[in-house]
Every structure is written in C-alpha cells, then in structure tokens.
Amino acid sequence: MSAPVTPDLFFGSDRPAALQMPHLITAFDAELMARVVYLTQSAPGLWRLPAPYDEADVYDPWRDPETRFSLWNLPANQAELLAPGRFANEALFGTNTILLDSAIDEKAAIALTEARGRRKANGGFYVEGLQDLPALPQLLDLSRWALIPVAPDRSYGLFVTSPAQAHWVRGLEEWCDRVGRTRHRLVLSGDRVSIVHENAPSEARERATAQMIDQFLGKLGRYFGLEEALLLPRIQERIVAARQLEQTVAQLKRNESSGLPN
C-alpha cells in the first residue's frame, strides 16, 4: 500500500495560494498535458525556458535565454513538449519548471515570478516552487491556467486556474473519472490544510488498471524476455523494497520534525 498523500508532498507553504483557486492534482504525464491543451485550447510553454526550435525548425537546446517565450507555440516546440522529447522530459522531471500559456504577457509574468527564480549555469531560468508563490493568483490573471509538476519526483501535476475558468477544472475532473484516474484537491478544515482524495468510478478504475498491467507485462516480455513464473517473485520483491523505502523516508521526516539526528 502506498504512503498517504499529504499536502507537504506537493507544497512547502502551510497555506498555498492554490487552496483558494480552482485546482486539481493527478498523475503527471503526456496524457494530462494533452488534456490540458484540449480543454484550454492553448499552446503551452515551459516557463521560463527558451524554446529549443526557432522559426526555421533549427534545434538548439542552449538557445539564448532571452528568446521570446511565444516561440513555444511553434509546431516543432509543441511536438517536443507534448511527446515529450528529451529536452522537455529533462526539464519537466529534472527541474523546477511549469507550463503556462505561451501567449502570456511575458514582461508582466517576469515581474511576478522573477524574485522566486534564479539563473542556472546553462543559462536557463528556473522558478523554484511556483506552486507556493503568493502571487500565483495574479499570474493566473495573465495565463488563465498553469500546470505545475509537483512532488519530489514531479510525478504529480497541479492544474490550477483563475476563478473565471473553473469549468476547465470540472472538465478535467470528468476526464479523470472516464479514464480511471485518482485525483486530489486541497481543503481547509478549521485552520488545517488537508488533501481530499477522489477516486474514479470502480468500473473505470478496473478497466484502466487492467490496461496498465497488460502494457507492463508486455513491456517486460519485449525488453527482458522474462518468463511468467519469474514475474510474481520479482514484483513482490519490488513491493517490499518500496514499502521499506517509504518507512525509511517517513522515519527521517519524523526525526527532522522532532530535531533528532538522522
């Protein structure tokens, strides 16, 4: 059984701004990005990374960081982001970055986010923990929506919108229910922020689970040629290892909060 999902998995702030805004958290992947594009009818970009392709489709991952953010709307850059390609994959899962509408007023967005970002040695500009930015509501007045990879491994996506676009969150909730995804949202109970977990209907979850298991087994066979008799012990071994890791991490967190040495 997985460790419980708690607010501190996603946020460093005790009262993140997303609490007061339409939002949803679910597994982050290419399918989620594609659905956001469909709902918002937007061409997203990685804020504030320079798009790797120019108007002539010349690829340069070390492009000038002052490159116009609007270049993310070029077809080659949209394909790189939504596949995602190697450049986008490393940015999404290896850095603190977010997806915004590439048509955003760039100067106004910089004024809201620059204080929380810093330029790295490779010239890229990354915003640290934008999900905790107090000015997030003002940023969403410009972009209307944001999709932020959250959790230490960026395995979850926080989709948050301006109040005027709350119907996009409802559309994403309906999609999660259809495809069998669990989703989460923040709520305030008294003075305590907690997470509400909402599972998809049982039939959709079972169907999605069966499809994912079939894909997983097929991939193991294609890549490694493992015999079926060897799979169950291997899977059980990894489940035990994952539980041990969760327990170790939980103990380290308890030690940290109580001031004990790790």
**Other Cβ atoms closer than 10 A to 60:** 12
> How many domains does the structure of the chain reveal?
2
- The pLDDT value recorded for residue 258 is 74
Are the C-beta atoms of 26 and 176 separated by less than 8 Å? yes
Q: State whether 121 and 251 are in the same domain.
A: no
Q: State whether 224 and 128 are in the same domain.
A: no
- The pLDDT value recorded for residue 262 is 62
Are the C-beta atoms of 262 and 256 separated by less than 8 Å? yes
Please give the C-alpha separations between residue 16 and each of 58, 99, 111, 130, 190, in angstroms, as whole numbers: 40, 18, 20, 10, 15
Distance CA 54, CA 34 (A): 22
Q: State whether 13 and 113 are in the same domain.
A: yes
Beta bridge partners of 46: 99
Q: State whether 142 and 250 are in the same domain.
A: no
Q: State whether 194 and 212 are in the same domain.
A: no
Q: State whether 18 and 87 are in the same domain.
A: yes
- The pLDDT value recorded for residue 47 is 92
Q: State whether 50 and 82 are in the same domain.
A: yes
Residues 6+ away with beta carbon under 8 Å from 107: none
Are the C-beta atoms of 139 and 133 separated by less than 8 Å? yes
- The pLDDT value recorded for residue 189 is 85
Q: State whether 65 and 183 are in the same domain.
A: yes
- The pLDDT value recorded for residue 30 is 96
Q: State whether 190 and 215 are in the same domain.
A: no
Are the C-beta atoms of 42 and 101 separated by less than 8 Å? yes
Q: Which amino acid is at 173?
A: E
Q: Buried (b) or exposed (e) across 223-245, using 16+ Cβ within 10 A?
A: eeeeeeeeeeeeeeeeeeeeeee
Distance CA 16, CA 8 (A): 10
Are the C-beta atoms of 11 and 132 separated by less than 8 Å? yes
What are the per-10-residue average pLDDT scores of the chain (262 residues)?
79 91 97 98 94 95 90 97 94 90 95 64 57 92 96 94 97 98 94 94 96 89 81 87 84 74 66
- The pLDDT value recorded for residue 157 is 97
* Domain annotation covers residue 235: yes
Distance CA 234, CA 160 (A): 39
The residue among 111, 109, 112 whose CA lies nearest residue 135 is 112
**Residue-wise pLDDT tens digits, 80-126:** 999 999 999 999 998 888 999 999 999 999 998 875 445 555 555 44
Q: Where are the beta strands (DSSP E) in the chain?
A: 23-27, 44-47, 98-101, 117-119, 125-127, 145-150, 156-161, 183-189, 192-198
Rounded to the nearest 10 degrees, the angle between the axes of helix 30-40 and helix 75-82 is 130
- The pLDDT value recorded for residue 1 is 44
* Domain annotation covers residue 2: no
* Domain annotation covers residue 136: yes
Q: State whether 184 and 70 are in the same domain.
A: yes
Among 182, 200, 218, the domain boundary falls at 200
Supply the range of the domain harboring residue 235: 203-258
* Domain annotation covers residue 1: no
The two counts, helices (H) then strands (E), for the chain are 8, 9
Q: Which amino acid is at 161?
A: T
Helix (H, G, I), strand (E, B) or coil at 242: helix
What burial class does residue 192 get, using C-beta atoms within 10 Å of its C-beta: 0-12 exposed, 13-18 middle, 19+ buried? Answer: exposed
* Domain annotation covers residue 149: yes
* Domain annotation covers residue 95: yes
Q: State whether 82 and 166 are in the same domain.
A: yes
* Domain annotation covers residue 25: yes
Q: State whether 149 and 163 are in the same domain.
A: yes
- The pLDDT value recorded for residue 217 is 85
Are the C-beta atoms of 80 and 53 separated by less than 8 Å? yes
- The pLDDT value recorded for residue 53 is 96
pTM: 0.86
